[in-house]
Structure 1
Amino acid sequence: MIRFDHVVKRFGDHVVLDELDFTVDRGEKVTLIGPSGSGKTTILRLLMTLETVSDGVIWVDGEPLSHRRRGDRLIRANEKHLRQARKSIGMVFQQFNLFPNMDVLTNVTEAPIHVLGQSRDEAVQRARELLDMVGLADRETAHPSQLSGGQQQRVAIARALAMSPRVMLLDEVTSALDPELVDGVLAVLREIASSADITMLIVTHEMRFAREVSDRVMMFDAGRVAEEGPPEQIFGDPRNERTKEFLKAVL
């Protein structure tokens, strides 16, 4: 579903991703771990087209994301191509990024109506199903300012799912929450991971959560994959010294 092919990302002279190659299978749940600045969030931002690659090509579902086809060549993606590509990718950020002037139901239905072209009735029905799933069926008329941080993040998850994405990106979705609110959000994500046929790429410092939901864990260091494997191996028997050092610091 996702393929990074010799992807390089530079910010000025600083190389954040260094000739990165990796794939994520359809329906696979992959967690990216590693120290701050190792390139994890940059990977998500490239997939969400919030950043552009410096070199290499990103593919999603067999089609180029960072580029577009012109005959038998690949050229840089234009905005029209990126807008179309974004429809298949959902992202939940560290900050909730809800529309403060809209109630919960409208926050969830806005994009399906205006981007996907769904009828209002169809979008509302789906939004109510998702709000029920995240435990907020009774808050659809509330505005974000009337919700706790954990509730806002659950609305953000419902909003991302409302677009029926084939790929879901989660970027430290609990880092802005008070500790007592974290478990509720993680419970929702566990349910999605176990029941939804969706490809998930997760950046988190919640190692227990990573161990529970992941099919595969990838340890990043200095823009490269230091080690990867099933969670039992990465957390139970890491082989790379950098992985051992990192896990000793966070577990």
Structure 2
Amino acid sequence: MIHFDRVTKRFGDLTVLDDLDLTVERGERVTLIGPSGSGKTTILRLLMTLEQVTDGVIHVDGRPFSHMPSGRKEGLVRADERYLAPRRRRIGMVFQQFNLFPHMSVLENITEAPVHVLGVSRDEARARGRELLSTVGLADKEDAHPTRLSGGQQQRVAIARALAMEPEILLLDEVTSALDPELVAEVLEVLRDVASGTDLTMLCVTHEMGFARDVSDRILMFDHGRILESAPPEDLLESPEHERTRTFLQSVH
């Protein structure tokens, strides 16, 4: 479903991703772990087209994503907005910060994008929005405004908003890092339900190792823009191959 083909990302002289070769299968749940600055979030930002690759090509569903076929000759050129727009809609992302519209109700936050981007009727979007609010345990909050919600509730709204776009790929970027500790569990429980109840391809950056163990098919340990090791959760978390992975896991437990 996702393939990074020798992707490098640099910011000036700093190489954040170094010749990355990464494949995520359709329906696979992959968690990225590693120290800050190791390139994990950059992977998600490249898939959301918030950043552009420096070298290499990203493919989604077997087709070029970061690049597009050249009209004049064989080969690829950097993708333009017209090419990216319909492909970007297949990808949903939940950020560290909730990014809800404070002047809109919870239900309006969820329905605006399906109506204006997907062309869904407002009645259909509202019905789907109410279903999703029930899924995330906020059926009684549809008329509330975000400022009246706890951080955990706001993040659950953000999850519902991402799902309302019916993505095939869901990206999760440290979705509990901005929450008070007592609110983390409620958000992770919602995401566990999403993982078990859908066939979404999921790519997750987290320091919550219990969550990574529960939802992942595979965990990747990153360090200095490279994959240090890749294994099923029980293998990587219980018996990592590299001393760097062992040191990192000790620091987050």
TM (normalized to structure 1)?
0.99
Instruction: State the identity as a percent.
Output: 69
Aligned to 2:56: 56
Does 2:131 match 1:129?
A: yes
Task: Give 1:51-200 correspondences, 5 Å limit.
Answer: 51-71=51-71, 72-200=74-202
Q: CA deviation at 1:78?
A: 0.6
Aligned to 1:247: 249
Aligned to 1:222: 224
Q: Distance in 2 between matches of 1:210 and 1:114?
A: 34
TM (normalized to structure 2)?
0.98
Aligned length: 251
What is the one-letter code of the residue matched to 1:95?
A: Q
Q: Distance in 2 between matches of 1:80 and 1:32?
A: 30
Aligned to 1:33: 33
Q: Distance in 1 between matches of 2:100 and 2:192?
A: 22
Q: CA deviation at 1:244?
A: 1.2
What is the one-letter code of the residue matched to 2:183?
A: L
Could you tell me which of 208, 211, 218 is aligned with 1:209? 211
Cα deviation 1:48-107 (Å, max 9, x = unaligned): 000000000001111211111125321101111222221000000000000111101110
Cα deviation 1:121-173 (Å, max 9, x = unaligned): 11111111000000011100011111110000000000000000000000000
- Listed as ranges, the gaps of 5+ residues in structure 1 are none
What is the one-letter code of the residue matched to 2:121?
A: S
Identify which range, 63-72 or 233-242, moves more after superposition: 63-72
What is the one-letter code of the residue matched to 2:76?
A: L
Q: Distance in 2 between matches of 1:60 and 1:78?
A: 16
Aligned to 1:20: 20
Identify which range, 26-35 or 57-66, moves more after superposition: 57-66
Q: Distance in 2 between matches of 1:218 and 1:235?
A: 11
